Amino acid sequence: MSNEAKKFPNPAPLGLAGFALTTWLLSMINAGWFTGDAIGMVLACAFAFGGTAQIIAGVMEVPRGNTFGATAFVSYGAFWWSFALFVLFLHDKVPAAFVGWYLCLWGVFTFYMWLATFRSPKVLQGVFLVLWITFFLLAFGEWTGSAALHAAGGYAGLLTAILAFYLSAAEMQIEMYGRAVFPIGQSTATPAPTLAR
């Protein structure tokens, strides 16, 4: 890593952790572990950690020249803001079919972001693979009214969160020790660590 690159800290551990924690909380509700009464804590995290902290991480990627990291973190940070605003102000005013389209379009975005990870570490590929599946399961759950699909989306979200937490920890180890203590399936085509440049 060059001296110039060292001037900018790697925001990936922060962005991934914000995404993972908020995704885990919401996915526990989607999976049926908790009722909708727990949504308040999800909204608090969606605004503060999943939303704001991720957007900050995305902005921190800009001077590093990391288009993928900036796009991913700002976008999913904005997702959490939009989700929280929807639950607070629009939940009873938007048809389920339209919510399904909202989730589906996030699935489309995540799918092409996943396509951009093919030369990246396997764990990063896994995060985006399971995430687009999560969005589509939840979308079809909204369209069909299927509780089973909704729960499946919740469990897929839990797996997404586990992978994102793992990658956050691995990125932190890379920053602290200069090597991947936790294996991430680093591609030989891309020696730079995952979301970092």
For residue 123, pLDDT over 50 is answered with yes
| Angle, CA 159 vertex, CA 135 and CA 96 arms, to 5° | 25
pLDDT for position 25? 98
pLDDT bracket for residue 1 (50, 70, 90): very low
What integer best gives the mean pLDDT of the chain? Answer: 91
Dihedral (Cα; 70, 50, 56, 100), 10-degree rounding:
40
For 85-100, write each residue's pLDDT tens digit. 999 999 889 999 999 9
For 141-174, write each residue's pLDDT tens digit. 999 999 999 999 999 999 999 999 999 999 999 8
For residue 64, pLDDT over 60 is answered with yes
